[in-house]
Chain A
Amino acid sequence: MAGLLLSGTYDAEGFRTCSVTGLRIHRDVERYVKLFALTAVVALLIGGISAIFVALTRWEVIGLADPPAFYKWLSIHAWNLLIFWMVFMEVAILYIGGPLVLGRPLPAPKLAGVGYAVMLGAALMINHAIATTEAPDNAPLLTSYAPLPSPPLFYLGVVLFILGVIIAALPFFITIWREKQEHPNRSLPLVSFGAFITSIIALEALLGGLITYIPTFLWRIGVVEHIDAGWYRQMYWIIGHGSQQINLAAMITVWYFLTHVVGGAEVVSEKLSRTAFVLYLFFINMGAAHHLLADPGVHMSWKHWNTSYAVYGAVLASMIHAFAIPAGLEAGRRKRGLGGQGLFGWLWSAPWSNPVFSATALGIIMFGFIGGISGVVMGQTQLNLTWHNTLGVPGHFHGTVVLGTTLTFMALVYFALPVLFNRDLVFKPLARIQPYFYAVAMGLATIMLLYLGVLYGVPRRHPSVMSFPGTDFNFAAASPLFAIFGVAAILAIIAGASFLLVAVGSLLFGKRVENPALVMPPLISGGSDDRPIHEYSMQGTFTLTLIFLAVFAIVYAVNWYLLGRLWAIG
């Protein structure tokens, strides 16, 4: 382990120059990026194991776990994948976007170490609390909705984890502070800017988390007598949704980074891309109201205001990125003379056999078409009625955090293996197909979840729906879709395992590469003429985004049609 973290040779000040990105990287930065990323991969492994139990219980032909075990596995699934895999990776991304891209040393490396230790300890505590849950406590799932009690150790673990993340983020904030002190007249690079926005959203979310979990912990241990379910839901979603926004902003930051380095993308409009990040900052916290659309206690106009706010602000921001990133690739590659003049030559000629590129590109496409569209649709106040707490909800967020963020973070690991760990990939043919394999299998599983939820009303968080004890009601009509889901889920789990095999295999047995540029050819430079980037054609991207809009409009219309057939409500 220590050997993995310490590879590389540095100059007297502790820096080396990266042959792929051209960046000056400090030893401490590199070491902590690796440490956080490796820990994230371990969480992915644990979460992946839990996915077997979750998916094969829901596919009742197999029916792997009984209800108590199912709820524990589902909680393990949510916390290790959505929280630990993502958040450890995000701290690594903050260090990449901050000191690594800015070519600075890691300030206060001790804080990074303390933050890491607290996060790790808290993660173990949370897993332990889930695994040992006993009556009267219940497995927390992701949301630990009060007043249903979860183990006291669980709440405590969450509070500690939040504190650990805040500590681990401090070196990033110090970096940005010092950069601005030393260079007041220059703007952060876009990747650093994206990371900075991510960190502010994170801070808001984390403070919301403390406001939620400290009182809830006090209630659970009996210091506070009463906890209000409506209060809990409002407060919880500050972090519950805020943390998804961290995933989003971090993922988009990585998109700009990786499409540039391995695909030759450039930033077509700093103004628009940065405006989009700022829109996230201002608008997305209100958007968290979309979790309360089927709730009592909040008025329709409050629901409309907050969801429309999100539509205007956050969705607009995502639409801007949805254009800017492929357009960056298109214009950048045209400038470099890659792929000829045609509408899509730049796209077909992209390095699709490099898993860093393919995982990123598939992440962008799948996130937009599956996660993005479903999210906006279910976020419309009335449409939410047909989505709320059905399998359509996990369908939506497997479109975002799995097909989008997980694929993107996999790309980042594929990138880090040669570039930071100095390891060549093992099992190259497997690595080459893994992103496609994962995207297709998980995409199918996700679409089945969406159908099961919206067209059959199959509830989420249920170990079985093929029988309801004491009645003859069931969802057996949906079993063919469950069969497709089950098979696709098994394939997706195998695809996920393939990723782990390549990643861990490369770390342990990969050939050492002294010059990673040889195995990860960068496309950063090139392009002889000096025309400004916005003058290159972006027609291919425009065509693609129009196709996206058409699909969006169709899905939107179908959902309103489905709602309109129902009985009168309200």
Chain B
Amino acid sequence: MSSPLKPLEGNWWGLPANRHEKAWVRISVVWGLILFGWMVGWSFFGNQNQHGPTYRIEPAAYRAKLAAYREASTVTERGLRPAGEDVYIAAMRYGFDGLPVILKAGKTYRLHLTSYDVQHGFSIRPEHALSKQISLQLLPGYEWVIPMRFDEPGVYHVICNEFCGIGHRTMHGIFIVEE
């Protein structure tokens, strides 16, 4: 009788386990190794890794950087055309500073992401395929530099998906990827 309600005496640690239970534990260990191995492997052979340096920066300093970047970019009526590979974007209540922006398909850009005030979300998807989407967290005081390369041209929508106040649901921006 092995009841979970009775204290144990004697050498219960020495009792053997059923062979199926032992097999399951082994399978689980192997499965855990596969999960880990694939995840770490993806950092090397996969194309989607939220990898990039973070710098501490005051919102005011970032605003100045973004203004200088805007100076250097070409202003069109559909949005900014960045001069180089760097793209500066900041979330704030309730919009995205730096958007809309026009990017070239197939070119790798460095996205510089931060927030001016509270925590925000940076959730991106192309207009033609809602299922192709990712989200990042944006924090005030941190500038996150993440490289991205968009191969499919189209309009990409950005929404905030971290609660940031009563106007949270209105936070939306776009960028355009052109051939």
> Which of A101, A295, A527 lies at the interface centre, i.e. has the most chain B CB atoms within 10 A of its CB?
A295
Partner of A68, one of B21, B32, B148, B166: B166
Residues of chain A with a CB closer than 8 A to B169's CB = 67, 462-465, 468-469
Q: Offer 15 A-B interface pairs, CB within 8 angstroms, sorted by A.
A: A67-B169, A71-B166, A102-B7, A141-B163, A186-B8, A233-B139, A261-B5, A297-B142, A308-B40, A323-B21, A385-B136, A390-B135, A461-B168, A542-B24, A556-B35
Residues of chain A with a CB closer than 8 A to B133's CB = 386, 390, 457
Residues of chain B with a CB closer than 8 A to A300's CB = 43, 49-51
Bound CA–CA A381/B43 (angstroms): 10
> Which of A141, A145, A460, A463 lies at the interface centre, i.e. has the most chain B CB atoms within 10 A of its CB?
A145
Q: Would you call A296 and B142 a contact (CB within 8 A)?
A: yes
Bound CA–CA A536/B1 (angstroms): 12
Residues of chain B with a CB closer than 8 A to A311's CB = 32, 35-36
Q: For window 23-77 of chain B, which residues contact chain A by CB distance below 8 Å?
A: 23-25, 27-29, 31-32, 35-36, 38-40, 42-43, 46-52, 54
Q: Which 5 A-B pairs have the closest CB atoms?
A: A457-B133, A459-B161, A296-B144, A570-B49, A319-B28
What interface size band does chain B fall in?
35 or more
Question: Which single residue of chain A is at the shortest CB-CB distance from B52?
Answer: A570
Q: Would you call B16 and A566 a contact (CB within 8 A)?
A: no
Bound CA–CA A265/B7 (angstroms): 16
Residues of chain A with a CB closer than 8 A to B141's CB = 228-230
> What is the minimal beta-carbon distance from A211 to any residue of chain B, in angstroms?
19
Residues of chain A with a CB closer than 8 A to B23's CB = 542
Q: For window 138-157 of chain B, which residues contact chain A by CB distance below 8 Å?
A: 138-144, 146-152, 157
Q: Would you call B51 and A327 a contact (CB within 8 A)?
A: no
> Which of B52, B160, B163, B165 lies at the interface centre, i.e. has the most chain A CB atoms within 10 A of its CB?
B163
Known: A191-B4, A323-B20, A382-B39. 18 other contacts (CB 8 A): A147-B117, A148-B163, A260-B5, A269-B18, A270-B13, A296-B54, A296-B142, A376-B35, A388-B135, A457-B131, A459-B121, A471-B157, A524-B5, A549-B31, A564-B46, A567-B151, A568-B47, A568-B149
Q: Would you call B47 and A147 a contact (CB within 8 A)?
A: no
Q: Would you call B4 and A190 a contact (CB within 8 A)?
A: yes
One of A48-56, A414-422, A473-481, A484-492 contacting the partner: A473-481
Q: Would you call A457 and B123 a contact (CB within 8 A)?
A: yes
Q: Would you call B40 and A295 a contact (CB within 8 A)?
A: no
Q: Given A71-B166, A311-B36, do A541 and B20 touch, yes or no (CB 8 Å)? A: yes
Bound CA–CA A477/B133 (angstroms): 15
Residues of chain B with a CB closer than 8 A to A190's CB = 4-5
Bound CA–CA A552/B35 (angstroms): 11
Q: Does A114 contact B (CB under 8 A)?
A: no
Q: Does A356 contact B (CB under 8 A)?
A: no
Interface string of A127-142 (1 = CB under 8 A from B): 0000000010010010
Q: Would you call B51 and A566 a contact (CB within 8 A)?
A: no
Q: Would you call A457 and B49 a contact (CB within 8 A)?
A: no
Q: Does A563 contact B (CB under 8 A)?
A: yes
- Residues of chain A having any CB pair with chain B under 8 Å: 21-23, 67-68, 71, 101-102, 135, 138, 141, 145, 147-148, 183, 185-191, 228-230, 233, 256-257, 260-261, 266-272, 292-297, 300, 304, 307-308, 311-312, 315-316, 319-320, 323-324, 327, 331, 376, 380-382, 385-390, 454-457, 459-465, 468-471, 473, 475, 477-478, 524-525, 527, 532-536, 538-539, 541-542, 545, 549, 552, 556, 560, 562-570
Residues of chain B with a CB closer than 8 A to A567's CB = 132, 148-152
Bound CA–CA A145/B164 (angstroms): 9
Partner of A267, one of B4, B31, B135, B168: B4
Q: Would you call A188 and B123 a contact (CB within 8 A)?
A: no
Bound CA–CA A468/B172 (angstroms): 7
Q: Does B179 contact A (CB under 8 A)?
A: no
Q: Given A304-B40, A320-B28, A460-B161, do A257 and B15 touch, yes or no (CB 8 Å)? A: no
> What is the minimal beta-carbon distance from A533 to any residue of chain B, in angstroms?
5
Residues of chain B with a CB closer than 8 A to A295's CB = 137, 139
Q: Would you call B137 and A388 a contact (CB within 8 A)?
A: yes
> Which of A297, A538, A564 lies at the interface centre, i.e. has the most chain B CB atoms within 10 A of its CB?
A297
Q: Given A297-B139, A323-B21, do A461 and B148 touch, yes or no (CB 8 Å)? A: no
Bound CA–CA A308/B121 (angstroms): 25
Residues of chain B with a CB closer than 8 A to A381's CB = 39, 43, 49-50
Partner of B4, one of A230, A233, A256, A331: A256
Q: Would you call B144 and A533 a contact (CB within 8 A)?
A: no
Q: Would you call A566 and B147 a contact (CB within 8 A)?
A: no
